[in-house]
Structure 1
Amino acid sequence: MKSPLFSLNSHADEFSKDEPLQHNINGSGVNETETDLPQDQETNIFPVEVFPQTVQEIIAATNESLQYPADFIGSSLLYALSIAIGNTHRAEVKKGWVESSVLYLAIVARAGTNKSHPLSFALQPIVDQDRKSYSLYEQQRRDYEKMVNLPKKERQDQAIDETVKPHWQKYLISDFTPEALAEVHKFNKRGIGVYVDELAGWFKNFNRYNKGSEMEFWLSQWSGRPINIDRKTGEPIFIPLPFISVAGTMQNGILNELAKENRTQNGFIDRILFVIPDNIRKEYWSETELPPDISERWKAIIHKLLSLSVPIDDTGNPSPIVLMFKPEAKQALIEWQRFNTDQSNKADNETLSGIFSKMETYVARFALILELLQYACNESDKQAIGLRAVHGAILLVEYFKRSAEKVNSILQNASPLDKHPADKQIVYNALPDTFTTEQGLQIVVRLGMKERTFKRFLNDKGLFCRTSRGEYEKLI
């Protein structure tokens, strides 16, 4: 009988060819002995060994010099790779099921622990590309305005045809609504990345304009469903093959905000890859400078992927190159799926079961990213997705599964009060155990809360019980 191609205890051999670096990286160690992923493992170590050697060296150098935790820089690099790949390639799991490299990523830690800087480092080559394209757009816009302001006769004399208004083709966007985002995506069919430094602002604004519509938009975009927007003013927008990756940071206390408005029930949280390392802390400054070649090496990797063209079909829309899985890679994927299915069926609650199920999508996406990363590092011809990429993808999804379990535990054990902002928590703690509406108003007005806000607050049945007309009791 053939030995299985997938085993949680057998990945180290696959990566031994890369000679993983012997570094202990702050916040998450680089240690090849941790690749067997025992189920009772107390700490969740980011699997740096899934990356090619040159990327491992980038992670180690940024950790040593800039104190980037391996979890933060490793996941940030994956996000930048996702955007750089965009609509150039997709992975075919089976006939009728293809996956892009779209990621929804949340880096979670308290303030001062270097959450944002790793994302900035990873995205810098793409920011530079946007800066160059904006400079080109500015020149094209000036030329366009100069031509359209010419008298008709002068345009005819110079044989100037009707000019097309230029548009800035950019990759990254931070401040957006679905309509504005679609407008940007319309002119960059390769795909775009949404980077929100404080991710709470992203989901808090979901119902800013039309209740529930933005939530549905982001649920759909994770699955790559077409964007179809009919506008009251202007032309309609139709993007048949969208590509929108999302990443950002948040503090631990904001996690409870994420669970509001049914987001744990509708599958939204299931789609987010949480990076929430154990025992993360603020580090002392390092006296070690970042070697100059580190940024250049990362820039070269991203530029090689950005140089890949997006195939266009006869309708003018993207037609990505589809990569199949090599037979042994496909078999390892199937064996892991069986293991994951058993875990999903045995999960303690429906939320965890849903999270495990979504990881079957992410394992294919990570395999695609890792195969194309190997290509960018001159270690693959990208003709098909191999066993090495699949093994790496499995290690990544197992890491993110444990992170999701940690987040789920935090949300399950949260007090109903934790879901409210700090000002409401202060008000709640200031109220006596029993009070009348009038007594409560006297207290909350002094604390700066408006009367109508307080009366809405009293409707929270997890915090208050109305014992009789105008009289309330606190429940926690």
Structure 2
Amino acid sequence: MADIRNTRLELCNRIRMEAEHTEDTGFPLDVFPQSVQSIILDMAKYENYKIEFIATSMLSAVSAALGGTYRIRIKGDWQSNGALYVILVGRPGLGKTPPLEAAYRPIRKHDYALFKAYEAEMEAWKAAGENGRKPVLKRTIISDFTPESLLLTHNNNPRSVVILVDEIMGMFNSANRYTNGQLIEQLLTAWSGGALDVTRVSNTIPVHIEHPCINIIGGTQTKRVHELLRKGFEENGLLDRILFVLPKSSRMSEWVNRDDDGEKMSATATRWENILDKVLALDYDTEAEERIPHVLSMDREAKEYFFSWWNSKVERINKIEDDAEVDSREMKHPAHVARLALLMQVLRHASGESHLQFVDMVSVKAAIRLNDYFENSYVRIRSFVANDTCEDPPKVLLSMLPDTFDTKTAIAIGKEQQGVSERTVMNYLKELCHSRLLRKAKAGHYEKVMYESGKSSTHEYE
């Protein structure tokens, strides 16, 4: 009976996606569990949410709810939790915050229950003459914080914390207030799975977090995203750890007056809460003070596919002769895909459509397609920024060049069409490479980065 219901839901979702032209978004909605697809489509219909924003926000919420209770074995002893750093990008009014809040509402409800429990414990502690251990407030979501308070909050809630901010650039701008980039260093270390330490001024006993699980999600306007690329975050590697969501269409959906909007959305929100509650109910492998996470391995088929996917990239990367031409962001792809595969496996389990014994082929393939989407968003953002920052003469030369060419061809076209010297042409090529509008295929040979199609030649996988 369950299989019949799932088949009917799959057919219904497929019809709805075709009617809503979801393929035009480029977002692989079909990789989500059928029940989650239905929730996303309902939220897009009744709340006018961008599918890309609500679906990615839900993935982030799953990661925050799962925390460090489950990890994925990537290769050998290399393991990772499912933490994601996500930025939703869009022009003003495109609707970044409402879907984010909708996805995280069950976790906010969970945090509120923890707050009420804390209040009761504090009253009891005070009534007992402040004897015994003072209660601490546990919470998952934080918005306004310092590097010290971030780790203290995480220490009180070892499972996970999520930095959820409406305008993410405000957080990154405030990072400059902290000594020696302490916050950024914490985020870099946490993403890579390193332990975190902090010593409070008021307490000489340091706080140590052996297995941090910090999620980040927030939005920013398209016109502000260039600020992120100019803060040195590319050089220190933070940018490589961030997944970007930039809808292909900036069109807003028209509002439709329906009598059942409130009722439908209430029911849809309840369905999502039920799924996320199942993730929140997952726990560590032990109830002892030393929390031991479950570690899921990929099954043989999934592992072979995952390794083949990455090795195809390794083969291309190994042909690059100039170290400066190696894309550092691409080096993070195995970790991103593994984390997304873990989250998809957990989401499928919480939706009643799979298990939590291992990570299977379905989840790995879904993760690769999601990673491709996030990378396509990233290169389109780089294109947007490059076109704003790159000078006009180099872009004029670029428009005259074929998709692939060598240095000799560029020099000849520059001299003939623009009347510039060989040295000037070489400077133009250098600037175009720096702006990510061009890349070196090998010494003396270049190829354009094709942003318009939504695919970068540097991230294709067949």
| TM-score of the two chains, using structure 2 as the length reference | 0.77
Structure 2 CA distance for partners of 1:223 and 1:194, relative to 1, 3 Å: same
* Residue identity matched to 2:88: I
SS across alignment from 1:205 = helix
Matches within 5 A, 1:397-408: 397-408=371-382
C-alpha distance in structure 1 between counterparts of 2:277 and 2:238, whole Å: 32
Matches within 5 A, 1:1-150: 18-19=10-11, 20-24=13-17, 29-31=21-23, 45-148=26-129
Deviations 1:356-411 (A, max 9, x none): 22121110001000001111011222100011111111110111111111122233
Matches within 5 A, 1:263-274: 263-274=233-244
C-alpha distance in structure 2 between counterparts of 1:343 and 1:74, whole Å: 32
Structure 2 CA distance for partners of 1:211 and 1:198, relative to 1, 3 Å: same
Q: CA deviation at 1:283?
A: 2.4
State the match for 2:415 in structure 1.
none
* Residue identity matched to 1:146: A
State the match for 1:324 in structure 2.
297
C-alpha distance in structure 2 between counterparts of 1:205 and 1:344, whole Å: 36
The yes-or-no answer on 1:286 pairing with 2:260 is: no
Deviations 1:101-131 (A, max 9, x none): 0000000001111110101000000000111
The yes-or-no answer on 1:339 pairing with 2:291 is: no
| Aligned counterpart for 2:280 among listed residues 289, 306, 312 | 306
* Residue identity matched to 2:127: K
C-alpha distance in structure 2 between counterparts of 1:345 and 1:406, whole Å: 25
Structure 2 CA distance for partners of 1:183 and 1:351, relative to 1, 3 Å: farther
Deviations 1:71-103 (A, max 9, x none): 001101100001111111000012111111000
Larger radius of gyration between Structure 1 and Structure 2: 1
Deviations 1:168-221 (A, max 9, x none): 111111111121011111111111111011000111111202032222111111
Q: CA deviation at 1:140?
A: 0.9
C-alpha distance in structure 2 between counterparts of 1:349 and 1:273, whole Å: 24
Percent of aligned pairs with the same amino acid: 32
Deviations 1:30-79 (A, max 9, x none): 34xxxxxxxxxxx6511101111110001110111111111001101100
Q: Structure 1: any 5+ residue segments left out of the alignment?
A: 1-14, 32-42, 150-161, 418-476
Q: Structure 2: any 5+ residue segments left out of the alignment?
A: 1-6, 392-462
| Aligned counterpart for 2:370 among listed residues 386, 390, 396 | 396
| TM-score of the two chains, using structure 1 as the length reference | 0.75
SS across alignment from 2:166 = strand
C-alpha distance in structure 2 between counterparts of 1:116 and 1:350, whole Å: 37
Q: CA deviation at 1:344?
A: 5.1
| Aligned counterpart for 2:209 among listed residues 239, 242, 245 | 239
* Residue identity matched to 2:174: N
Checking the alignment, whether the CA contact within 8 Å between 1:230 and 1:236 is kept in structure 2 is yes
Structure 2 CA distance for partners of 1:173 and 1:91, relative to 1, 3 Å: same
SS across alignment from 2:22 = coil
SS across alignment from 2:67 = helix
Checking the alignment, whether the CA contact within 8 Å between 2:73 and 2:80 is kept in structure 1 is yes
C-alpha distance in structure 2 between counterparts of 1:56 and 1:86, whole Å: 23
Structure 2 CA distance for partners of 1:17 and 1:364, relative to 1, 3 Å: farther
Deviations 1:414-434 (A, max 9, x none): 3289xxxxxxxxxxxxxxxxx
C-alpha distance in structure 1 between counterparts of 2:305 and 2:56, whole Å: 23
Checking the alignment, whether the CA contact within 8 Å between 2:284 and 2:292 is kept in structure 1 is yes
* Residue identity matched to 1:414: D
Q: Between Structure 1 and Structure 2, which shows a larger proportion of helix residues?
A: 2
C-alpha distance in structure 1 between counterparts of 2:324 and 2:86, whole Å: 21
SS across alignment from 2:200 = coil
Checking the alignment, whether the CA contact within 8 Å between 1:44 and 1:399 is kept in structure 2 is no
Checking the alignment, whether the CA contact within 8 Å between 2:87 and 2:168 is kept in structure 1 is yes
Checking the alignment, whether the CA contact within 8 Å between 2:341 and 2:367 is kept in structure 1 is yes
State the match for 1:190 in structure 2.
159
Structure 2 CA distance for partners of 1:167 and 1:249, relative to 1, 3 Å: same
| Aligned counterpart for 2:353 among listed residues 379, 400, 408 | 379
Q: CA deviation at 1:293?
A: 2.1
Checking the alignment, whether the CA contact within 8 Å between 2:72 and 2:81 is kept in structure 1 is yes
Checking the alignment, whether the CA contact within 8 Å between 1:352 and 1:405 is kept in structure 2 is no
C-alpha distance in structure 2 between counterparts of 1:88 and 1:265, whole Å: 32
Deviations 1:309-338 (A, max 9, x none): 123486x33311000101001111011112
Q: Relative to structure 2, which stretch is displaced further, 209-218 or 72-81? A: 209-218
